[in-house]
Amino acid sequence: MTAQSATSTRTTSAAEIEALLAAAHAAARPLAALRPSDRGRLLDAVADALDGAADELVPVAQAETHLAEGRLRGELKRTTFQLRLFGELLRDGGYLDARIDHADPEWPMGAPRPDLRRVRVPLGPVLVFAASNFPFAFSVAGGDTASALAAGCPVLLKAHSGHLELSRRTGDVVAGALAAAGAPAGTFGLVVGTAAGAAALRDPRIAAGAFTGSIPGGRALFDIASSRPDPIPFYGELGSNNPVFVTEAAAAARGAEIAEGFVGSFTLGAGQFCTKPGTLVVPAGSGLVEALRRAALPPAAPLLNDRIQAGYAEVLEGLEANPRLEVLAQGPSPLADPPSPTLLLTTVADMLAEPHALQAECFGPTAVVVTYDDEAQLAPLAETFEGQLTATIHGTDTCAVAGLVEVLSRKAGRVLWNEWPTGVSVTYAQQHGGPYPATTAAATTSVGTAAIERFVRPVAYQGFPQHLLPEALREDNPLGVPRLVDGAREG
CB 3 within 8 A of CB 186: yes
Rounded to an integer, what distance in angstroms lies between the CA atom of residue 247 and that of residue 268? Answer: 24
Catalytic residue among 75, 153, 248, 274: 274
Show the beta-strand stretches assigned E in 239-278.
244-246
Mark whether 274 is an active-site residue.
Answer: yes
Rounded to an integer, what distance in angstroms lies between the CA atom of residue 313 and that of residue 14? Answer: 36
CB 412 within 8 A of CB 442: no
Long-range Cβ contact pairs of 398-406 (< 8 A, separation 24 or more)? 398/249, 399/247, 399/249, 399/250, 400/375, 401/245, 401/247, 401/375, 403/379, 404/245, 404/378, 404/379
CB 412 within 8 A of CB 429: no
Residues 6+ apart with CB under 8 A from 180: 45
Catalytic residue among 64, 75, 153, 237: 237
Name residue 489's beta-bridge partners: 484
If we measure between CA atoms, which residue out of 126, 122, 120, 121 comes closest to residue 225?
126
Rounded to an integer, what distance in angstroms lies between the CA atom of residue 168 and that of residue 342? Answer: 35
Residues identified as active-site = 237, 274
